[in-house]
């Protein structure tokens, strides 16, 4: 199979398109887009459009890069970065459902699903294997860790720790155990994630300090627990917390 560009699609001079891609009718791939192999762009999508940033200079040479095997459904918009030579990134094997939007300078990992009408503001990062439910909105500079489950219509204004479930407004409700099991995490890893979750969310005090204390305690050995705990050492937005009693055994 070779790359197919359907009638009425617009592919600007300078766009980079990999092998076995498909650009459907009325899709727009600008000169600022770099598509990996086997990317599918459905009608009405715009890949590499200008950022929604008032001070943006349209002469700025910035880009959107989409990883291999990603599917971009109808009316998705992926905006390029605001600074010269910077890139908005969508990883491999992602599925961006109709109407979803990734703003300038977003960094979306591999195997991510954005359901219909998800809204990612600028500079948002989304970890691998995360699912964001339909209509959810994410504040600029927020970080969403790997294997998170974000419910539909959620309002995310703070950082979401990896492997968690979040709903409503920054409301953590537990670990995404279904997602962890689907990824084939070991029993040891899941057990340590439960313990790490308890150490952070069932404790009292500063959440960064609780995570650091858990790391320094020497209890945790698995890479998954370390990824969970070290997430709290960074970020600009603060962290989503439990708005009510939660359980580490919550399902997706």
DSSP code per residue over 20-42: T-EE-TT-EE-TTEEE-TT-EE-
Residues 6+ apart with CB under 8 A from 43: 24, 25, 26, 27, 74
Hey, which residues are catalytic here? 104-105, 122
Kindly report each contact of residues 243-249 with a partner whose C-beta sits within 8 Å and lies 24 or more positions away, as own/partner: 243/168, 243/169, 243/170, 243/171, 243/172, 244/171, 246/172, 246/173, 246/174, 246/201, 247/173, 247/174, 248/174, 248/175, 248/193, 248/194, 248/197, 248/198, 248/201, 249/174, 249/175, 249/177, 249/194
Structure tokens at 218: 């020497």
């Amino acid at each position: 199979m070779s790359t197919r560009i359907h009638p009425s699609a617009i592919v600007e001079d300078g766009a980079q398109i990999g092998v076995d891609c498909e650009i459907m009718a009325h899709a727009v791939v600008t000169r600022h887009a770099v598509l990996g192999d086997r990317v599918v762009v459905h009608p009405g999508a715009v890949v590499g459009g200008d950022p929604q940033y008032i001070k943006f200079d349209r002469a700025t040479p910035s880009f959107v890069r989409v990883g291999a095997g990603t599917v971009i459904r109808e009316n998705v918009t992926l905006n390029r970065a605001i600074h010269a030579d910077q890139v908005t990134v969508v990883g491999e094997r992602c599925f961006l459902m109709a109407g979803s939007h990734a703003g300038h300078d977003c960094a979306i990992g591999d195997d991510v699903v954005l359901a219909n009408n998800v809204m990612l503001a600028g500079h948002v990062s989304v970890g691998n294997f995360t699912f964001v439910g339909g209509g959810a909105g994410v504040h600029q500079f927020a970080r969403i860790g790997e294997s998170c489950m974000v419910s539909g219509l959620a309002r995310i204004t703070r950082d979401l720790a990896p492997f968690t479930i979040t709903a409503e407004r920054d409301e953590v409700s537990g670990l995404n155990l279904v997602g962890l099991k689907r990824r084939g995490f070991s029993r040891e890893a899941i057990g340590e994630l439960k313990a790490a979750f308890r150490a952070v969310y069932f404790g009292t005090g500063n959440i960064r300090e609780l995570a650091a204390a858990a790391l320094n305690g020497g209890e945790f050995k698995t890479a998954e627990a370390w990824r969970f705990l070290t997430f709290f050492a960074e970020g600009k937005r603060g962290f989503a917390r439990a708005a009510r009693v939660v359980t580490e055994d919550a399902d997706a």
